[in-house]
Structure 1
Amino acid sequence: MAKLYFYYASMNAGKSTTLLQANFNYHERGMRTMLWTAAIDDRSGPRGEGHAIESRIGLHAGACRFTADTDILAKVQAVHAVEPLSCVLVDEAQFLTAEQVWQCADIADRVGIPVLCYGLRTDFRGELFSGSAVLLGIADTLVELKAVCHCGRKASMNLRVDAEGRAVAEGAQTEIGGNDRYVALCRRHFSEALGR
């Protein structure tokens, strides 16, 4: 029976690396996969250019890009009807809409293809992303990937920083960036940085 998985973590925990390793494992066994990532994250280049999924350690792969309007279920079914898929892998899953998360559940439940979603649990304020909230609620399997705070404890929070490295407490929930904009911290150091 196919399942819906949610692998979640803070920044720098290796979510994309783990996704790409899983993809490699399927391909090594002659199985076909379909990769997805959020169109909003265009750090690897505009649509159709560069590698859609790229890890900090240099692994990369092409992927379909979803927006809030993308019917992931319909697109997966169309591909699966022509050439059967063994797995669907979704990077930046925090940006899925609630409806798209349910589509991923339908891919597992009705189409019979495992769906592995990877993403952030919370934003820079410590609040759940909507896609992550639904995944935490309905995924068959939840797996927390670990990152490390500068103090050596588990980093579970994502601190947004400005160009001078100062903590940012206000702003839009989504602002794309890497190590230049976010620091993974334990809850204690996250709270201290925000003056809580």
Structure 2
Amino acid sequence: MAELVFFSGTMDCGKSTLALQMNHNHAVRGRVGLIFTKLDRAGANVLSSRLGLSTGALEVADDLDFWESIVSRATAGGRIDYLVCDEAQFYTGAQVEQLARVVDEMDVDVFAFGITADFRTELFPGSKRLIELADRVQVLQVEALCWCGRRATTNARVVEGSMVIEGEQVVVGDTASGLEGQVEYEVLCRRHYMRRMTSHAARVAALSPEVLPFDLEVCPVPPLPITQAD
């Protein structure tokens, strides 16, 4: 019986690597699948891992209808056993519902991979809908680590060296050049996210003559602003 499975976690926990491995494992057993991705750091129409592995993929536009696309391929004689959907946090809620329909009505497995929450610790729309609809949600076992060595649970956005908590939800960072190259992401434990203590800020604090080594964990950091819900 086909399933909709959501593999989730923070950055650096191996989601894209697992997506590539999942596709390989099914393909070598004779199953036929399609790979989808959106806003991959390596560019359009590619699924890439930070380990350097990559493969071609179909780029997901906001107006893509997964149901119509898969039905069209099937009625044209194409065989589809499974879908690998990377960067699923960027999919719309409607697209996640379409994927669920593909599973239920066409008996096609869907393996979705994505970051759970954004740099503000708020759920991405695609991830939220996947958590609500998936048959299974699996948190990846490869733990990303904060600079302090603790398990990282949050994704921090760093603009020109400073952590930010405001801005557009979707900004592709960690790129080689251009304006977006000024944006980086770093995984942090909750403690250091709340203190806005990135690895760079920690190094600066450690070098400060006013901060003793054993005071590094409690050095003052401006508090996060409290905003009211709309």
- TM-score w.r.t. the length of structure 1 is 0.90
1:140 aligned partner:
135
Match of 1:147, SS state, is coil
1:175 aligns with 2:171: yes
For residues 122 and 70 of structure 2, what CA distance do their matches in structure 1 show?
30
CA-based RMSD of the aligned residues comes to 1.6
The amino acid of 1:148's aligned partner reads: L
For residues 84 and 73 of structure 2, what CA distance do their matches in structure 1 show?
14
Match of 2:52, SS state, is coil
1:44 aligns with 2:42: yes
Query: Which sections of structure 2, spanning at least 5 residues, go unmatched?
Result: 176-182, 198-222, 225-230
- Structure of greater relative contact order (alpha carbons < 8 Å, 6+ residues apart): 1
Q: Percent identity?
A: 39
Give the counterpart of 1:91 among 59, 69, 86.
Answer: 86
For residues 60 and 83 of structure 2, what CA distance do their matches in structure 1 show?
13
For residues 117 and 154 of structure 1, what CA distance do their matches in structure 2 show?
23
1:30 aligns with 2:33: no
1:121 aligned partner:
116
For residues 58 and 130 of structure 1, what CA distance do their matches in structure 2 show?
28
The amino acid of 2:53's aligned partner reads: L
For residues 178 and 2 of structure 1, what CA distance do their matches in structure 2 show?
35
2:217 aligned partner:
none
Match of 1:148, SS state, is coil
Give the counterpart of 2:193 among 179, 183, 190.
Answer: 190
1:65 aligned partner:
59
- For residues 41-94 of structure 1, the C-alpha deviation after alignment (integer angstroms, 9 at most, x for no partner) is 15423x45xxx1010101111111111110011112222342222210101101
For residues 17 and 174 of structure 1, what CA distance do their matches in structure 2 show?
22
The amino acid of 1:10's aligned partner reads: T
Give the counterpart of 1:80 among 68, 71, 74.
Answer: 74
Query: Which sections of structure 1, spanning at least 5 residues, go unmatched?
Result: none
For residues 117 and 36 of structure 2, what CA distance do their matches in structure 1 show?
20
The amino acid of 1:139's aligned partner reads: A
The amino acid of 1:58's aligned partner reads: G
Count of residue pairs the alignment pairs up:
189
For residues 70 and 190 of structure 1, what CA distance do their matches in structure 2 show?
35
For residues 137 and 152 of structure 1, what CA distance do their matches in structure 2 show?
32
Shift of the alpha carbon at 1:29? Answer: 1.2
- TM-score w.r.t. the length of structure 2 is 0.78
For residues 30 and 72 of structure 1, what CA distance do their matches in structure 2 show?
23
Pair member with larger Rg: 2
